[in-house]
Amino acid sequence: MSQTHINVAGHVVERHITRSGQGGDRDVFEYALLRVVPRVERGECINAGVLVYCRAKAYVGARTHLDEARLLALDPAADVAGVRAALGAVEAVCAGGEAAGGAAGDDPGRRFRWLVAPRSTIVQPGPVHTGLTRDAAAETERLLDLLVR
């Protein structure tokens, strides 16, 4: 289904609206980037991972990639091992099981919401975006390649 709208500048814009069951074999998913902000007072960051949640598939996953050279260019004194540990913890929470600690019993949606909650730490989630996918796990890898590597 699509609707035609005229925006403020007078241009005709076509918006595609997908309702439940109308996405074909694609499911709605949400994602957020994981950003490393080595010096919070400066506000500089690098993308270091992506979180993906697909309610229809009960999937939550994270993939990370830390470019140490870029991190050290922003802050030569950055704690690379600490950043790697924080990124690994995010992947563990997504994977569930014992490694997820107290979040192990939570459903995927709750784990995603907890992980994307704003924090004032070195590893921070970015805003949540949405999309449609046929394969949430493959989407996680695609977004990592597109937005992080």
Strand, coil or helix: what is 21?
Answer: coil
What is the average per-residue pLDDT within 77-84? 96
Check: CB of residue 98 under 8 Å from CB of residue 8.
Answer: no
Q: What was the pLDDT predicted at 9?
A: 59
- Looking at every residue in the chain, the average pLDDT score rounds to 86
HSE-CB of 11 using CA atoms within 13 angstroms: 4
What is the average per-residue pLDDT within 68-77? 96
Share of the chain above pLDDT 70, in %: 85
The CA distances from residue 15 to 6, 9, 96, in Å, are: 11, 16, 37
Tokens 């994270």 found at: 62
Q: What was the pLDDT predicted at 21?
A: 54
pTM: 0.79
Check: CB of residue 50 under 8 Å from CB of residue 32.
Answer: yes
d(CA 143, CA 42): 26
